[in-house]
């Protein structure tokens, strides 16, 4: 009646990795776990690497980059290039969205606005461009940081 052993032997992560056409290896499973379990939706490769270290996982930074890039290619995660050097990765939630980033504390709010999407499509069409992707990031100061420093 309680789940058989098999239930825990094939966790969801493994299936996702397998479906992506990748071998199920410890680094891949661990990285996917980190992405799912860490409270942060947006993590840099360095963040993931540090999280792995704090879980006593012996995984090289190069592997983290390699795996994240593969996950990106497989559509499991999205890579974002915000200002400030490093890229951040987030689990692919299935639907596109844009970002509001606090320049003080780094807090990130996701949003989706169909009006903006439509205008973009129209503008691209007017110029004859075929859209492949787009990136909209609004930088500002979040409510908390506004309170903290007048």
Partner DNA sequence: GGTATACTGAAAATCTTTCGCATCTTGCCC
Partner DNA sequence: GGGCAAGATGCGAAAGATTTTCAGTATACC
Nearer to a copy of itself, 11 or 84 (CB): 84
Helix (H), strand (E), coil (C) string for 64-114: HHHHHHHHHHCCCEEEECCCCCCCEEEECCCCCCEEEEECCCCCEEEECCH
**Of these, 7, 12, 23, 114, which contacts DNA (CB under 7 A)?**
23
**For residue 87, which of 110, 71, 68 has the smallest C-alpha distance?**
68
Nearer to a copy of itself, 14 or 92 (CB): 92
**For residue 29, which of 20, 40, 16 has the smallest C-alpha distance?**
16
The answer to the question of residue 102 lying near a copy of itself (CB under 8 A) is: yes
In the region spanning residues 40 to 99, those forming contacts with a copy of itself, defined by CB under 8 A, are 81, 83
Q: Which residues of 31-68 are buried (b: 16+ CB within 10 A; e: fewer)?
A: bbbbbeeeeeebbbbebbbebbeeeeeebeeebbeebb
The answer to the question of residue 50 lying near DNA (CB under 7 A) is: no
Rounded Cα–Cα distance for residues 53 and 37 (Å): 15
CB 104 to DNA: min, Å: 18
**Of these, 86, 93, 120, 146, which contacts DNA (CB under 7 A)?**
86
In the region spanning residues 30 to 49, those forming contacts with DNA, defined by CB under 7 A, are 44-46
CB 55 to DNA: min, Å: 12
Binding site for a copy of itself (CB under 8 A): 81, 83, 100, 102-103, 109, 111, 113, 115-116, 119-120, 123-124, 127-143, 146
């Amino acid at each position: 009646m309680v789940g058989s052993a098999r239930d825990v032997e094939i966790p969801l992560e493994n299936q996702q990795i397998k479906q992506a056409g990748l071998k199920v290896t410890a680094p891949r499973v661990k990285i996917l776990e980190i992405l799912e379990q860490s409270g942060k939706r947006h993590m840099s490769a360095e963040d993931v690497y540090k999280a792995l270290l704090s879980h006593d996982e012996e995984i090289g930074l190069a592997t983290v980059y390699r795996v994240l890039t593969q996950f990106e290619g497989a559509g499991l995660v999205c890579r974002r290039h915000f200002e400030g050097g490093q890229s951040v990765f987030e689990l692919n939630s299935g639907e596109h969205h844009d970002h509001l980033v606090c320049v003080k504390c780094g807090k990130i709010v996701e949003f989706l606005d169909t009006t903006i999407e439509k205008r973009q499509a129209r503008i691209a069409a007017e110029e004859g461009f075929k859209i492949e992707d787009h990136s909209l990031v609004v930088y500002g100061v979040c409510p908390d940081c506004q309170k903290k420093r007048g």
